[in-house]
Chain A
Amino acid sequence: MKILVCVKQIVDLEARLRVNDDGTWIDCSDLALRMNEYDEYAVEQAVRFKEQCGADQVDVTVLSIGAATVTETLKKALAMGCDRAVHINDDAAWRKDPAQIAAIIAAFAADKGFDLILAGMQSQDRGSAQVGALVAQRLDYGCVTTVIDCDLQPDKITVRRELEGGLKAVVEVKLPALLTCQLGLNTPRYPTLPNIMKAKRKELLSFDVEEFACPDPLVRTVALTPPPRKGSALIIEGGNDEVAAQLAKILVARRVA
């Protein structure tokens, strides 16, 4: 059984974000980088399938498109238990729209015979929630999005899809299939030191993005702007003592006890 996991590297979104010179995306220099949270669930799920079915029964490839920095994210996925990593080198990946990213992934995966492809349901930075479904469409795979539970059988997979208000749908899909992973699917493991060391000996293949056919963009970014500020919040800042005192006063005035 061959599994492909698609991951994206994103910046630390809690940092101060500035618009880049181009005006269409954030300036990522000097920001901490990490794996998109939804993709961590995908990596964890692939590794769990490997543990369930036997290490020699399941082969997990993790793929990421992006600049040289994404190898750090790929190494984390290897340390979590993926077998090999594929880096599709593209300094301009941030300019690409979901249809282009999906086309590149599909071009890579087309002749590899993956039985299962796992992706995050969306990225935390752009949140388009398109890439997984678009890859499936290109490869003619069955596809279930927003998966919070899954049970792998020999030729099919039964999943729970999360709907609104706590309702779930149980859905079956034959392999090959693609699933997009939602929060709560599992609790991703932290790589242990021995596994980080072991990961250093794992295969990390690198391709130039030009090697894969990529269509023209379907969406153009006109601008990146701060959201309209209503700005009505009273901001309390300063030393902790001062903030605590001011805040306590407000809370006391409104408590019900």
Chain B
Amino acid sequence: MKCVLVMHSRQGQLPESSYELFTCAEQIGAEQVLVFIGPRAALPPFAGRVYLLDSEVWGEFNPGAHCQAIAEIVRSEQPQLVVLEHSSFGWDLAPRLAASLDAAQISEVVAISADGYEVPCCNAKLRRVLAPATPLCVITVQSGAFDAASPLVGAVAQISEVAPPPQGGKEKFVAYEEAEAASVDLGKAEVVVSAGRGMGKAENIELVARLAAALGGELGASRPVVDAGWVEHDRQVGTTGQCVSPAMYVACGISGAVQHLAGMKKSAFIVAINKDKDAPIGEVADVLAVADAVQLLPQVLEQLG
């Protein structure tokens, strides 16, 4: 078994989660070849062949050209597997690559077994086990599913630099836009009480805010609540918001999507209030109160005095 790992730097930095791809390949016992999009300086230590698509020449976002070049590399390397992260880079490039190579694609892999690739579905309430029907398969791997491998200090790579095709893709990168600095640092709070879409409407957020105050904590929120304008963006928890690990995290009407869990699952103690006993938040929770949060919270507040 041979696999091509595709890694991608952002603003010149390789995300730490990229090291999880090495672990994934090791678990399968596959020979590894690396395609690296980034500056030479950010290349992870690697013992093997590396194709370098230097971002100083190619740019970091150039999916049409990246796809052409990587498809070419895959055709010459003839691996059985191409592995990318399930990130804004990976889910964008993987289908383009799979289509160019007539290969199956399996997205958001969280585990690999003899039967196939396991992927979450239906809000992570179930898992599908999928197998490719083609000799080549492109997978994107959910971050956190595999432990990050420690860097192979001192490893010597054979690097070949790839020149960009004369004609680029149809998409043109203009600029990065930085996130606005958050005015509340949820990371410092000892208790975070978050509101999810299950709170139903903007007026009900008050209940969650009062609970946060009663517990000496800060108000947090899931993304849909922020998108709807019920809570300011500063308070969003998750991959596209803040990462928190307080002594206690209380999730009110939050289902527990991976992107939310990524921002709070390291909390020391997790309490969830959800009317659905099977909600995936139950997987990380220490306590799950099965109830309608809108009805329950006034009663809890009364008890807290």
Chains A and B come from one and the same complex: yes
By a beta-carbon cutoff of 8 Å, the part of chain A in contact with chain B is: 13-14, 16-17, 19, 24, 26, 97-99, 121-122, 124-130, 133-134, 137-138, 141-146, 158, 160-174, 177, 183-184, 187, 216-227, 229-230, 232-237, 240-241, 243-248, 250-252, 254-257
Assess whether A170 is in contact with B174, with CB atoms less than 8 Å apart: yes
Compute how far the CA of A237 lies from the CA of B280 in the bound complex, rounded to whole angstroms: 17
Instruction: For residue B145, give the distance in angstroms from its CB to the closest CB of chain A.
Output: 12
Compute how far the CA of A56 lies from the CA of B125 in the bound complex, rounded to whole angstroms: 44
Compute how far the CA of A229 lies from the CA of B291 in the bound complex, rounded to whole angstroms: 21
By a beta-carbon cutoff of 8 Å, the part of chain B in contact with chain A is: 10-11, 15, 61, 63-64, 87-88, 91-92, 94-96, 98-100, 103-108, 115-116, 119-134, 169-180, 190-191, 211, 213-217, 223-224, 226-229, 239-241, 247-248, 250, 255, 269, 271-273, 275-280, 282-283, 285-292, 295-296, 299-300, 302-304
For chain B, what secondary structure do more than half of its interface residues adopt (helix, strand, loop), or is it mixed? Answer: mixed
Compute how far the CA of A86 lies from the CA of B92 in the bound complex, rounded to whole angstroms: 27
Compute how far the CA of A251 lies from the CA of B236 in the bound complex, rounded to whole angstroms: 22
Interface centre among B95, B100, B128, by most chain A C-beta atoms within 10 angstroms, is B95
Compute how far the CA of A254 lies from the CA of B191 in the bound complex, rounded to whole angstroms: 9
Point out the residues of chain A lying under 8 angstroms from B303, CB to CB. 244-245, 248
Point out the residues of chain A lying under 8 angstroms from B132, CB to CB. 218-220
Query: Which chain A residue lies CB-closest to B216?
Result: A257
Q: With A169-B176, A187-B228, A220-B133 given, is the CB distance from A130 to B122 under 8 Å?
A: no
- In the complex, the 8 A-B pairs of residues with the closest C-beta atoms, listed nearest first: A166-B179, A257-B216, A142-B170, A248-B303, A244-B299, A133-B95, A218-B104, A256-B216
Instruction: For residue B210, give the distance in angstroms from its CB to the closest CB of chain A.
Output: 12
Point out the residues of chain A lying under 8 angstroms from B134, CB to CB. 218
Assess whether A254 is in contact with B248, with CB atoms less than 8 Å apart: yes
Assess whether B171 is in contact with A171, with CB atoms less than 8 Å apart: yes
Point out the residues of chain B lying under 8 angstroms from A226, CB to CB. 125-127
Point out the residues of chain B lying under 8 angstroms from A237, CB to CB. 277, 289-291
Instruction: For residue A17, give the distance in angstroms from its CB to the closest CB of chain B.
Output: 6
Assess whether A235 is in contact with B290, with CB atoms less than 8 Å apart: yes
Instruction: For residue B9, give the distance in angstroms from its CB to the closest CB of chain A.
Output: 12
Compute how far the CA of A250 lies from the CA of B228 in the bound complex, rounded to whole angstroms: 31
Assess whether A172 is in contact with B174, with CB atoms less than 8 Å apart: yes
Instruction: For residue A146, give the distance in angstroms from its CB to the closest CB of chain B.
Output: 5
Q: Can you list 25 A-B pairs with a CB-CB distance of less than 8 A?
A: A19-B126, A97-B104, A99-B99, A127-B108, A127-B119, A129-B95, A130-B98, A133-B95, A134-B98, A146-B91, A164-B10, A167-B178, A171-B171, A171-B174, A173-B170, A173-B172, A218-B103, A219-B132, A220-B132, A221-B128, A222-B115, A233-B272, A236-B287, A243-B296, A248-B303
Assess whether A255 is in contact with B88, with CB atoms less than 8 Å apart: no
Query: Which chain B residue lies CB-closest to A257?
Result: B216
Q: With A164-B10, A245-B303, A256-B217 given, is the CB distance from A229 to B99 under 8 Å?
A: no
Query: Which chain B residue lies CB-closest to A230?
Result: B283
Point out the residues of chain A lying under 8 angstroms from B61, CB to CB. 161, 169, 171
Point out the residues of chain A lying under 8 angstroms from B100, CB to CB. 137
Q: Given known contacts A137-B100, A161-B88, what 8 new A-B pairs fall within 8 Å (CB)?
A: A133-B99, A134-B98, A170-B173, A220-B130, A223-B115, A236-B291, A254-B215, A257-B214
Assess whether B216 is in contact with A165, with CB atoms less than 8 Å apart: no
Q: With A222-B129, A251-B250 given, is the CB distance from A234 to B288 under 8 Å?
A: yes
